[in-house]
Amino acid sequence: MKLTSDQIIIIEKYLDKDGIFYDDIKTEMIDHIAAAIEEQLNENTKDVNISIKTYMNSHLKVKLLSNIKQQEELRDKQNRKFVLKQFYSFRGLLFFGVVFGLVFLSTLNIWVYRFIEGIMMLLMLLILVGQKWLDINFPFFKRLVHISQFYYLLPFLLLTQVHRFVDETNFILLCRVVALSMGLTGYYLTYRSSLILQNNKYV
């Protein structure tokens, strides 16, 4: 017995609660579950909705979900590597160089520097408090930031705290300029990576 589109939607609603992010992985899981339920229905005449509910609350679904989560972790790892590679690309190095130059020049005027620093703080604040807005408008960008920001925001945070350990004013300023440039470059490259990966259907 073949499941109808309405019955497939019921399965999708169950899976929405499990937080599966990648569409192709979710589609693969739906196909697998639908095939399993159809096989059960061929063997007996149970109500379709009861069969769906029974399967979705069974150990079979739990085991399948565990495998799916592992697939998502592998996909996240691949995407994280892709984002980090952008830092060493020509575009990434060029963007960092341009941003570093602008931020360094801005130190000649403290208000301009504070303005650029404020932009970085606003971006970090947006990531922290704008979760729902990002979920609706930029879900894949949010996902990439979540899985990769540690690798460029940790150096950013460390460099901004250098003043606690050394007294050389010029060195501290240079560290802050590098940190700010790295943070802004990281967000730019993450956003650009999200567009590339989406176009290549890696979402």
Paired tokens of 104:
């360094």
Q: End-to-end alpha-carbon separation of the chain, Å?
A: 32
**Do the Cβ atoms of 142 and 190 come closer than 8 Å?**
no
Rounded to an integer, what distance in angstroms lies between the CA atom of residue 60 and that of residue 55?
Answer: 7
Task: Locate all alpha helices (DSSP H) within 107-168, ordered by sequence.
Answer: 110-129, 131-137, 139-160
| pLDDT for residue 162 | 63
Q: Which amino acid is at 9?
A: I
| pLDDT for residue 93 | 94
Rounded to an integer, what distance in angstroms lies between the CA atom of residue 203 and that of residue 78?
Answer: 11
Q: What is the pLDDT of residues 27-85, one digit of tens each?
A: 888 888 888 888 877 766 567 778 888 888 888 888 888 898 899 999 999 999 999 89
Question: What's the rounded mean pLDDT across residues 12-27?
Answer: 85
Determine the number of helices (DSSP H) and then strands (DSSP E) in the chain. Answer: 9, 0
Q: Cβ neighbours of residue 148 under 8 Å, at least 6 residues apart?
A: 79, 80, 83, 84, 190
**Rounded to two decimals, what is the model's pTM?**
0.76
Q: What is the pLDDT of residues 110-158, one digit of tens each?
A: 888 888 888 888 887 887 777 778 887 888 888 888 888 777 667 766 7
Rounded to an integer, what distance in angstroms lies between the CA atom of residue 175 and that of residue 184?
Answer: 14
> Does residue 169 sit in helix, strand or coil?
helix
Q: Kindly provide the residue ranges of all beta strands, DSSP E only, lying in 161-203, ordered along the sequence.
A: none
Task: State the angle between helix axes of 23-43 and 5-16 in degrees (0 to 180), rounded to the nearest 10.
Answer: 120
